[in-house]
Structure 1
């Protein structure tokens, strides 16, 4: 998580707060979104491991332009 300059290590920037709220609302039901823990859906990779499966540039583009996937259980954003 982020840190406001000169602030508490637990304080996060507004953009990070929005991203966390989005992930909790839309992703946490299947993916582990924290620094530890397992995904609720076994085949859903934890967010912390996505960079090992996909390039960071590809992930950034997918998140910016909308995620579309081939499997029916993952919503399209």
Structure 2
């Protein structure tokens, strides 16, 4: 009887809980990425980047430890290609964007 009740509770939780609930910081980071980055970069787990030379965000952790990007985001990211705009983020924006990027690892 207890097993049946436990099983029913687990099934109910699995069916009603969001599959990938994200924190408010992660959501704000995702919104920032969607607004400012998705024009060139893939910001999800599967699609190709719209701009071929722009790395998908899901692969950034393979190139750089995500936390190491904080300084570059604070000082302003400058790249070798002219289509990348320079961004200089506030500390709360950096936290949010890094929180989102970690969800893609």
TM-score for both structures, normalised by structure 2? 0.57
Of the three residues 69, 77, 90, the one matched with 1:59 is: 69
- Aligned pair count reads 71
User: C-alpha distance in 1, partners of 2:23/2:75?
Assistant: 22
User: C-alpha distance in 2, partners of 1:35/1:61?
Assistant: 25
Q: Which residue of 2 aligns with 1:68?
A: 78
Q: Which residue of 1 aligns with 2:14?
A: none
- For 1:8-27, what aligned pairs fall within 5 Å after superposition? 8-27=18-37
Name which of structure 1's ranges 49-58 and 17-26 shifts more when overlaid on structure 2.
Answer: 49-58
Greater CA radius of gyration, 1 or 2?
Answer: 2
TM-score for both structures, normalised by structure 1? 0.74
The higher relative CO (CA closer than 8 Å, separation ≥ 6) is in 2
Higher relative helix content: 2
Give the alignment's Cα RMSD to 1 decimal. 1.9
